[in-house]
Structure 1
């Protein structure tokens, strides 16, 4: 068979629908019917955004006139410009026909043509399969094509609402440790008077958090990138909840962000980080609790919170367990170097 790979027009509803349907079918087949996936509308908005941060490309895979899968390539434009992020979605009925291999060969060629030397991807599998994901289709496909497991993550789920007394008890337990820090929370855009400090913390997240063997470099603080991300959230009708902890000298000591999808009714934990100099003051717990308080007040319809943490991040996993999170899935961050 000969696989035809064509880049889609993100403003062509037929192509975007077909691209998303292949993605969603593949994810749900491997992860279960209730797997959390981006909605069609959210995906369409991301593909259509004119981004200065990342070059996004989406592709349809065809065998004659039959759509047999989809793929995407994301090329960072500001930081870590040596990397490329690949994704391939092939529904089960089209597997073992060379579709995924053809798509991977194509994406690797596109990345190399853009002078990218490190290829990265991710795949998820049931929590019960263990950290290595042995036997999971995505993990075995990646292994066969030279992609190593660079970092293993745990997805955890928190059923909502959290009993208010639980949050009261936690806040009482950490009150002495957080004394002297100002906790500020908001819904929507990061306020102008703290966005620079927020951005400084956010830029260090990728390298301050456990990174395993991932070939990534520190990012440069960039307010424009934060504002672009917020513009996309608006287009997707998502709701952002942010909390920052300010040290006595006014510097940003910790931050956390929750994002609610109005399409699927779930909340997703984005970045949470405590500055190295301020660790030990239980600020990670404080900012998470503040966000949960806001979530209950402003989005009481939210059904659950999902978060990902490195398997090796024992401290944050313990914090999540204290809040009531339970492991629900695993994800592998995969990597292959071209040179």
Structure 2
């Protein structure tokens, strides 16, 4: 006799604080996120605490939805939507089900729930990033010509079955720490010499200095469109000095610190590149490489390498003890992968970037 296991799906109210009385479901949903990420990559190095993730959900420039699946008295899956307030068409979906609760229809139900919510909000383009573990057999190539995912993987068959198309493959990379300080000094000097006299490096930790707020807003805005996004055609996310300070206020209690290295173009006095490391408070945890960008007009001067080496040196000097840095890049973004590989990053896994177009809802 077959026993049917009944699950339910419900929305989650996002708490204003992890200490709030209504934060339990959000905390449990983040635990699901971390457990699935660890299962997918074979390491818990990509885990974040609920306190570190909550500021993203409280960003006033975005809209969010979260649904969770309940079974056996616990949250066993979650489906999320992330969207920009000032861009009406695109949204990003995230679906996760604990491995021991798969093949029960939970993933399908969560996918339908978030797709329906996106459609009701007028969204017409859905983007999903899904980890694809390597395996033998037929590959589904990225239309960019760089990278592929195993066609018979469960997540690949699931997304294809729901009408998603693979648009891009992203590489997750890891740099083991520490890196030899003598080697860093030599690379830093070589990069500075290659950059030439028109550029100056600046470093800081924590909040963006007031003098650089406008320039950093311009760089963050460019970051949203300058990164290769292939057929995803990800929309522009507009940043302002006010948005930067709002984000810093939201992140003030998350326990992490940001380390910045930027390059100023001296003839104009404007910043033309940035890189950022997000450092957790616990030295036992790995560091996350966040945005890295060199504006197009300033490429070809090894500014990316210069900034990354300086940022790495700052990390090892001021926050020693972390075992690694992780980062993600599109497989076709060869210039950035060249920079990372020169620093010492090695591949740790791959994600497919998928897109689905919805019909415009009837008025």
Please give the alpha-carbon distance, in whole angstroms, between the structure 2 residues aligned to 1:24 and 1:284: 31
Equivalent residue, structure 2, for 1:108: 115
Please give the alpha-carbon distance, in whole angstroms, between the structure 2 residues aligned to 1:318 and 1:23: 30
Equivalent residue, structure 2, for 1:286: 306
**1:231 corresponds to 2:249:** yes
Q: Displacement, 1:286?
A: 0.9
**1:4 corresponds to 2:8:** yes
Task: Point out the more displaced range, 238-247 or 202-211.
Answer: 202-211
Deviations 1:6-51 (A, max 9, x none): 112333233123222322232223322435122233234544x3x2
Cα distance, 1:178–1:128 mapped onto 2, change above 3 Å: farther
Cα contact 2:45–2:286 (8 A) shared by 1: no
Cα distance, 1:160–1:66 mapped onto 2, change above 3 Å: closer
For structure 1, the residue ranges without an aligned partner over 5 or more in a row are none
**1:77 corresponds to 2:85:** yes
Please give the alpha-carbon distance, in whole angstroms, between the structure 2 residues aligned to 1:122 and 1:237: 26
Cα contact 2:88–2:123 (8 A) shared by 1: yes
Cα distance, 1:334–1:227 mapped onto 2, change above 3 Å: farther
Cα distance, 1:291–1:16 mapped onto 2, change above 3 Å: same
**1:61 corresponds to 2:69:** yes
Q: Say which of 266, 272, 289 aligns to 1:253.
A: 272
For structure 2, the residue ranges without an aligned partner over 5 or more in a row are 16-21, 140-146
Cα distance, 1:281–1:298 mapped onto 2, change above 3 Å: same
Please give the alpha-carbon distance, in whole angstroms, between the structure 1 residues aligned to 2:236 and 2:95: 27
Task: Point out the more displaced range, 211-220 or 324-333.
Answer: 211-220
**TM-score normalized by the length of structure 2:** 0.86
Q: Say which of 201, 205, 211 aligns to 1:187.
A: 205
Equivalent residue, structure 2, for 1:216: 234
SS in 1 for 2:148: coil
**1:13 corresponds to 2:23:** yes
Cα distance, 1:233–1:221 mapped onto 2, change above 3 Å: closer
SS in 1 for 2:353: strand
Cα contact 1:120–1:333 (8 A) shared by 2: yes
Equivalent residue, structure 2, for 1:132: 148
Q: Say which of 250, 262, 266 aligns to 2:281.
A: 262
Q: Say which of 16, 23, 32 aligns to 2:33.
A: 23
Please give the alpha-carbon distance, in whole angstroms, between the structure 1 residues aligned to 2:274 and 2:329: 16
Please give the alpha-carbon distance, in whole angstroms, between the structure 1 residues aligned to 2:91 and 2:313: 37
SS in 2 for 1:167: helix
Equivalent residue, structure 2, for 1:161: 178
Cα contact 1:186–1:243 (8 A) shared by 2: yes
Task: Point out the more displaced range, 60-69 or 14-23.
Answer: 60-69
Cα distance, 1:196–1:302 mapped onto 2, change above 3 Å: same
Please give the alpha-carbon distance, in whole angstroms, between the structure 2 residues aligned to 1:83 and 1:290: 36
SS in 1 for 2:35: helix
**1:52 corresponds to 2:60:** yes
* Structural RMSD (CA): 2.1
Equivalent residue, structure 1, for 2:337: 317
Deviations 1:51-90 (A, max 9, x none): 2111222222124845331221212113x33111111111
**TM-score normalized by the length of structure 1:** 0.92
Deviations 1:257-306 (A, max 9, x none): 11112256211111111111111111111111111111112211222111
Q: Displacement, 1:128?
A: 6.6
SS in 2 for 1:142: helix
Please give the alpha-carbon distance, in whole angstroms, between the structure 2 residues aligned to 1:163 and 1:44: 35
